[in-house]
Structure 1
Amino acid sequence: MRNLLAKSADRGLLFLEEHTLHVVQAIEAFAKAYSFDQELAIKGAILHDLGKGHPVFQAMLLDKPKEHREGWLKKLAGSEAIRKELRWRDLDKVPTHRHEYSSLAFLPLFPKKEWPALIEMVVAHHKSIVGDKSGRGLLDLLEEEAGDPSMILETHLNYYEEWAPAAIEVASTFGLPKIEISEEEASDALKYAIDYVESMPNDWSPHRGLLMTADHFASGFQNETTKKTLKLFKVPDTKPYEQRTKSERAYLYPLSQVKVDVAKKHTLVTAPTGAGKTDFLVRRCKGRIFYTLPFQASINAMYKRFKDDFPEEDIRRVHAASKVSLETEPAGKRIAEEASEDVDMQHHPGASIKVMTPHQLSALVFGTPGHESIALDVRGQDVILDEVHTFSDKAQRMVLEIVQRLIVLECSVHIGTATLPTALAHRLLTILGGSDSVYQVELDEHILEDFDRHVIYKSHEGSPIDRAGMDSIIDLAIAEGERILIVANQVKRAQEIYESLRQKHSNIPIVLIHSRYRRKDRAKLEKEVIELQDPSFGTQAAIAVATQVVEVSLDISYDRMITEAAPLDALIQRFGRVNRKRKPKSERKLRPIHVLAPSEKPREVLPYDIEVVKRSYEVLPDGDVFKEKMTQSLLDEVYPESAPIPTSNDYQFIEGDHCRMKKLEHRPRGVIIEALGIEGQCCVLASEVEEYRYARHDKKPLYEIPVPGNFNRYNKLAIEQSGSYPLILPDERYKFDEKDRRGLIAEKQVSPNAQIL
Structure 2
Amino acid sequence: MLNNHLKTHLAKSDGTTIREHIDDLFKQFNIFINHYPEVLTEKEKELLKVAIEYHDYGKLNKLFQCKLPANPKLKPVKCSKEKDDKIPHQYLSPLFLENLKDKFNLQELSIIIYSIINHHARGREYLNNVGIKLLIDEIGKNISNFFSHIGINSLTPQTANFYKKRFEYIIDNIGDIKKLNDKLKNNDNFVKSVIKISGLLIRIDHSASGEDLIIEEEPIKENREDLFLNYLEKNNKPRNLRDFQKKFKDRENLVLVADTGLGKTGLATLWSKRKMFYVLPNRTSTNAMFETMKQIFGKEKVGLLHSTSLFYIFANKDTEDFTILRDYDNTKNLSKPITISTADQLFTAVFKYPTYEKIYATLSYSDIVIDEIQGFDPSQIVPILKQIEETTKLGAKYLIITATLPQIIKEELEKLGFEIKTDDPLTIDNTKRHKIEILQKNIFDILDIIVEKAKNNKNVLVLTNTVSTAQEIYKNLDYKDKNLLHSRFIWEARRKKEEQIKNDYQTAKGKIWVSTQLVEASLDIDFDILFTEVAPADSLIQRMGRIWRHRKEDYTGEPNIYILSEVDEKKDIYEKVLRDESIKLIQQYLDKEGYLLSKEKRKIVEILYSRENLKRLNSEYFEKWKEVEKVLNSNWDYLFKKETQLIFRDTFSFEAIPCIFKDKVEDLINKYKELKNIQDKEEKRLKRIDILRQINDLKVPIPVYWVLNEKIKDKNPYEILDRDLDIYLLAKYFVYDDELGIRIDKEILGNYQFDEEIFI
Rounded Cα–Cα distance in structure 2 between residues aligned with 1:47 and 1:609: 56
1:203-258: CA deviation from partner (whole Å, max 9, x where unpaired)? 34222212111122333x33x245x7443576882434457899996699965465
Task: Identify if the C-alpha distance between structure 1 residues 319 and 196 changes in structure 2 by more than 3 Å, giving closer, same or farther.
Answer: same
2:10 is aligned with 1:35: no
Shift of 1:315: 1.9
What is the aligned counterpart of 1:160 among 108, 125, 147?
147
**8 Å Cα contact 1:233-1:352 kept in structure 2:** yes
- Give the superposition deviation at 1:536: 9.3
Q: Where does residue 67 of structure 1 map in the other structure?
A: none
Query: Does 1:102 pair with 2:104?
Result: no
Q: Is the partner of 1:458 in helix, strand or coil? A: strand
CA 1:517 to 1:379, structure 2 compared with 1: closer, same or farther past 3 Å?
A: farther
Native 8 Å contact 1:44 1:118 kept in 2: yes
CA contact (8 A) 2:524 2:546 kept: yes
- Tell me the residue number matched to 2:262: 275
Q: Which residue of 2 aligns with 1:492?
A: 468
Is the 8 Å Cα contact of residues 55 and 116 (structure 2) preserved in structure 1? Answer: yes
2:226 to 223, 239, 261: 239
Residue 123 of structure 1: which of 117, 122, 130 is its match?
117
Asked if structure 1 preserves the Cα contact closer than 8 Å seen for 2:533 and 2:565, the reply is yes
Q: 1:531 to 1:96 in 2, by over 3 A?
A: same
What CA distance in whole angstroms lies between the structure 1 residues aligned with 2:721 and 2:158?
41
Please say if 1:556 is aligned against 2:525: yes
What is the root-mean-square deviation in Å for CA atoms of aligned residues?
4.4
Residue of 416, 424, 444 corresponding to 1:431:
416
1:365-404 → structure 2 map (5 Å cutoff): 365-404=350-389
Q: Say whether the 8 Å CA contact 2:530–2:547 is kept in structure 1.
A: yes
Which of 449, 459, 466 is the matching residue for 2:430? 449
- Contact preservation (8 Å) 1:293, 1:357: yes
Distance 1:21 1:447, change over 3 A: closer
CA distance in 2, matches of 1:611, 1:649: 22
Deviation at 1:642, TM superposition (A): 5.3
CA-CA distance at 1:679 after TM superposition: 0.8
Query: For residues 146 and 230 of structure 1, what CA distance do their matches in structure 2 show?
Result: 43
Query: Residue in 1 aligned with 2:207?
Result: 217
- For the residues of structure 1 that align with 2:95 and 2:646, how far apart are their CA atoms? 39
Q: Give the residue type in structure 2 aligned to 1:371.
A: Y
Q: Equivalences for 1:533-552 in 2 at 5 Å?
A: 533-534=502-503, 538-539=507-508, 542-552=511-521
What is the CA distance between 1:637 and its match in structure 2? 5.6
Q: Contact conserved, 1:382 with 1:413, CA < 8 A, in 2? A: yes
Count of residues in correspondence between the two structures:
679
Q: State the alpha-carbon separation in 2 of the partners of residues 586 and 95 from structure 1.
A: 72
Q: Name which of 330, 339, 343 aligns with 1:354.
A: 339
Q: Offset at 1:646? A: 0.6
Counterpart CA distance in 1 for 2:420 and 2:476 is 49
Task: Indicate which of 118, 126, 138 corresponds to 1:138.
Answer: 126
Letter of the structure 1 residue corresponding to residue 314 of structure 2: E
2:565 is paired with a residue whose SS is: coil
Indicate how the Cα distance of structure 1 residues 195 and 391 shifts in structure 2: closer, same or farther if over 3 A, else same.
same
What residue identity is the alignment partner of 1:444?
P
Q: Which has the higher contact order (CA 8 A, sep 6+)?
A: 1
> 2: distance between equivalents of 1:718 and 1:464?
39
Report Cα offsets for 1:111-137 as digits up to 9, x if no partner. Answer: 75354443222222113653xxxxxx4
Query: Residue in 1 aligned with 2:681?
Result: none
Cα 1:710–1:727, aligned 2, differ >3 Å: closer, same or farther? farther
* Counterpart for residue 338 of structure 1: 323
Between the aligned partners of 2:167 and 2:146, the Cα distance in structure 1 is 25
Give unpaired runs (5+ residues) of structure 1: 63-71, 131-136, 165-180
Report which stretch shifted further, 473-482 or 719-728.
719-728
* Cross-structure match for 1:728: 728
Name the counterpart of 2:571: 604
Q: CA deviation at 1:610?
A: 0.6
Q: Is contact 2:256–2:401 with CA below 8 Å preserved after alignment?
A: yes
Q: Which amino acid aligns with 1:605?
A: D
Q: CA deviation at 1:613?
A: 0.9
CA separation of 1:634 and 1:672: change in aligned 2, threshold 3 A? same
For the residue of structure 2 that corresponds to 1:562, the secondary structure is strand
Amino acid in the other structure paired with 1:440 = K
**1:321/1:676 CA distance change after superposition, 3 Å:** closer
Q: Does 1:752 align with 2:756?
A: yes
Whether the 8 Å contact between 1:465 and 1:596 is mirrored in structure 2 is: yes
1:651-730 matched pairs, under 5 angstroms: 651-652=631-632, 667-669=639-641, 672=644, 679=651, 682-685=654-657, 687=662, 691=669, 703=696, 706=701, 710=705, 712-714=707-709, 716=713, 728-730=728-730
Displacement of 1:736 in angstroms is 6.0
**1:260 aligns to what?**
248
**Residue aligned with 1:290, SS:** strand
- Larger deviation: 561-570 or 104-113? 104-113
**1:196 correspondence with 2:186:** no
Give the 3 Å change call, closer, same or farther, for CA 147–427 of structure 1 in structure 2. Answer: closer
Amino acid at match of 1:324: F
The corresponding residue for 1:169 is none
Q: Distance in 1 between matches of 2:557 and 2:337?
A: 39
> Does the aligned pair in 1 maintain the 2:120–2:354 contact within 8 Å?
no
- Residues 14-55 of structure 1 show CA distances to partners (whole Å, capped at 9, x for unaligned) of 554554443332233335533255454344334322333434
One-letter code aligned to 2:258? A
**Percent of aligned pairs with the same residue?**
21
Give the TM-score, by structure 2 length. Answer: 0.76
Q: Which residue of 2 aligns with 1:174?
A: none
For the 8 Å contact 1:233–1:350, the answer to whether it is kept is no
1:277-335: per-residue Cα shift (whole Å, max 9, x none)?
33234423332222222222222222222122222562223233333322322x24x34
How many Å separate the matches in 2 of 1:97 and 1:250?
63
Q: Cα distance, 1:374 vs. partner? A: 1.2
Offset, 1:535: 6.2
2:78 alignment partner in structure 1: 80
Amino acid at match of 2:167: V
Task: Tell me which residue corresponds to 2:177.
Answer: none
Distance across 1 between alignment mates of 2:514 and 2:522? 17
Query: Is 1:741 aligned to 2:729, yes or no?
Result: no
Q: In 2, distance between residues paired with 1:573 and 1:191?
A: 61
Per-residue CA distance 1:501-550 (angstroms, 9 max, x = gap):
6xx66x64734231x466x53xx624541343336974365454433232
Question: Is the CA contact 1:598–1:605 (under 8 Å) kept in the aligned structure 2?
Answer: no
Equivalent-residue separation in structure 2 for 1:38 and 1:596 (angstroms):
62
**What CA distance in whole angstroms lies between the structure 2 residues aligned with 1:188 and 1:679?**
50
- List per-residue Cα deviations over 1:533-572 (Å, max 9, x = no partner): 3369743654544332321253222343332211111111
Q: Is the 8 A contact 2:280 2:286 kept in 1?
A: yes
TM-score in terms of structure 1 length: 0.76
Distance across 1 between alignment mates of 2:135 and 2:119:
23
Q: Which 5+ residue runs of structure 2 have no aligned equivalent?
A: 175-179, 181-190, 615-621, 676-684
The one-letter amino acid of 1:431's match is L
Partner of 1:467: 444
State the alpha-carbon separation in 2 of the partners of residues 623 and 742 from structure 1.
Answer: 42
Structure with bigger helix share is 2
CA distance in 1, matches of 2:32, 2:160: 27
- The answer to whether the aligner puts 1:25 opposite 2:27 as a matched pair is yes
> 1:581: which partner in 2?
550
Q: Which amino acid aligns with 1:113?
A: K
Closer/same/farther in 2, CA of residues 511 and 61 from structure 1, 3 Å limit: farther
Conserved? CA contact 1:102–1:156, under 8 Å: no
Give the conservation status (yes or no) of the 8 Å contact 1:104–1:190.
no
